[in-house]
A and B are shown apart, each in its own frame.
Chain A
Amino acid sequence: MRNILLESFRGALTEAPPDADGAMLAELANSLNERARERLGRSLSIRQVDAGSCNGCELEIHALNNAFYDLERFGLRFVASPRHADVLLVTGPVTKNMREALERTWAATPDPKWVVAVGDCARDGGMFAGSYAVVGGVSAVIPVDLHIRGCPPTPTQLLQGLIALLQDKKPRNNCEAAL
């Protein structure tokens, strides 16, 4: 046990943080509110919601917690309840059978809140768009602040998006009412 522990600390695994992605920053430029940023500081609690994914996106979201990406060093952490969350990280095309659960999770998340849609499916339904069982992308059900593309997005792409969420300070007009 001692050897395993010591060995794993030899040399850092943790990656240098990626730069925030330019396109994502641009999307966020319209979506974040300065007052909210000040209130939250550089820390966000994230609740992940699978609204119909194939589970591929979840695998890479999980990877954010491994020693290479170590999400918590950015002040980002996953929480178990939407009531403790600032951010909903939603994956999947929203299935008709999950629509209500997603709406209720969103309603249970206190303001101010952000929604990040993860993966090509969450953007517009992806390959599942048009199915009798699928509503479409996440924005067809709840307002979305940021899309992170990919099938699935890599952990680096996920980090870029979430860091962008932390860095951007410009106000989001259509979010005023919710604050």
Chain B
Amino acid sequence: MTILERCGAQAPTQESRPWPRAVVDADGWRFAASQLAEGLWELLALWAEAYVVHSAVRDPASGEIAVLSLPCAHGGYTALAQWHPPAMRLERTIRDLFGLEPIGLPDARPWLDHGRWGVKHPLGTAQSTAPEPPGYQFLPAEGEGLHQIGVGPVHAGIIEPGFFLFTANGETIVRLEERLGYVHKGIEGLMVDSDLDRAIQLAGRTSGDSTVAYAYAFAAAAEAALEIDVPPRAILLRALMAELERIANHLGDFGAICNDASFAVMHAQCGILRERVLRAANACFGHRLMRDRIVVGGVTADLNKDGRAVLRGLLGEITRRLPRLAELYDKTASLQDRTVGAGVLNPALASQYACGGYIGRASGRNFDARKVIRYAPYDQLVFEVPVLAQGDVNARVWIRIREIEQSVAIIRQILDRLPEGELRAAVSQTDTSREGAAAVEGFRGDIFVWMRISAVGAIERCHLRDPSWFQWPLLEAAIGGNIVADFPLCNKSFNCSYSGHDL
């Protein structure tokens, strides 16, 4: 039986691609919650529209994905988080943005809404309010000898804003509580009624470090909805850009993690390599971060002969230097002393949260959308997905090193087989509204996008789920028992996105 059948769903909507979507009733929703709670299914995403909540779930045994929709006629629905905690912040967000009450939600506090927008439920009924920030109630911490340290939202470095409240016993962190939402820009609100050209630019500005991956995911969802066949050359160029982005980010973070362990040499070396990647990207595609190069239907930048030579040179340099940096990392006792055993994420939590990216894979979760969902062109490329079980900072570093190697191999294959041909397919008009979804593996993990496009080609609703949604809560778990001074190191090894999460 399919997921939808097991939930007693109505017949799936006709317009939804590639995964089916269907309306379920409260019992079907409850059944899905129990499957999630037992760890039989995974929650990929949870989002809302004015009077309906949607959840995308995946059965890891069969690989099947389906979208369940529960109408909320009375403005409320059964909260999944009472059985499946990974839904918690998503349901707080649904309440903030749409005013739909997650009934039974164990946390009554707002999440993205800090009381400063001048409007309540901006994507739902949208009532104007006087901006009157209410105080935020952090969880109580009681016990002898406990003290609290609050940090943020502006941090002492070049990083994004967020607030962290540490409760510590001496040097040891007893609890970390995050408060996010500071960089909420209302991207999903801006999307509504945008045409696809503008909407994909917004998607590419959701988390700047993943601008390629976001545009890639957005384009894939739109192309699924509109049944557009992307030209083969464009499919490969997209993957090439995505792998360059992955390498650049992994290099930057590898150096930055070592820097947080006071090993500046690695930071300098990785910084040089990262800069070379960005320069190669600029030389090949005309933008260092390759922003706005992926569009619905294809790509806007081509790779010429000079570009190929630049990339081959770059891959050669990475192949020469990376093994030596990895060896240096491995043999430097002072580094190992900080990273081995620090910030351990329990594999059971990684699996419960369906935590993606290097965080999940360093804690035994063998999921990489390129391999598992096998979207083109990765179904044709040979690469491995490194997985480790230790779950500490060290494991996350090694996953990144191994992934750089795999990305280099992928780019080589792409260069070898890049066919001549068109860069962009025409975007056809449809006479009905269409729905599409996609999951694309960014450097940080799988980015999930769902959208409905109107008959005139405007966005009716688009949801962008950053991998950080299922990673931020795990940072809270992983940091417990570590010393306060190790927080920057552990945090950097997670490197969750604030902007991608706050949206």
Contact = CB atoms under 8 A, between A and B. Distances in A.
Interface in A126-144: 126-128, 130-134
Contact of A55 (B116, B198, B208): B208
B323 to A, nearest CB: 11
Nearest to B126: A132
Nearest to B206: A54
Interface stretch (B141-149, B152-160, B479-487): B152-160
B488 to A, nearest CB: 12
A8 B269 contact: yes
A56 interface: yes
Contacts, number: 152
Contacts of B201: 127
Contacts of B20: none
Contacts of A154: 288
Interface string B324-336: 1100100110000
B189 interface: yes
Contact of A4 (B153, B205, B269): B269
B23 to A, nearest CB: 29
A52 B183 contact: yes
Q: Size range of the interface on B? A: 35 or more
A24 B377 CA distance: 44
Contact of A81 (B156, B288, B331, B499): B156
Interface string B268-308: 11011011001000000000110100000000000000000
Interface in A93-152: 93, 95-101, 105, 126-128, 130-134, 151-152
Given A4-B328, A93-B185, A133 B159 contact: no
B181 interface: yes
A139 to B, nearest CB: 18
B116 A54 contact: no
A66 B271 contact: yes
B324 A4 contact: yes
Contacts of A26: none
A65 B324 CA distance: 22
Contact of A132 (B122, B154, B157): B122
B291 A56 contact: yes
Q: Size range of the interface on A? A: 35 or more
A5 to B, nearest CB: 7
Given A56-B211, A96-B131, A131 B181 contact: no
Interface of B: 114, 116-119, 122, 131, 133, 153-154, 156-161, 181-187, 189-190, 198, 201-202, 205-209, 211, 252, 265, 268-269, 271-272, 274-275, 278, 288-289, 291, 324-325, 328, 331-332, 497-499
Interface of A: 1, 3-5, 8, 13, 48-63, 65-68, 78, 80-82, 92-93, 95-101, 105, 126-128, 130-134, 151-152, 154
13 contacts: A3-B324, A4-B325, A5-B265, A48-B157, A50-B159, A56-B208, A60-B288, A97-B114, A97-B183, A101-B153, A132-B118, A132-B189, A152-B289
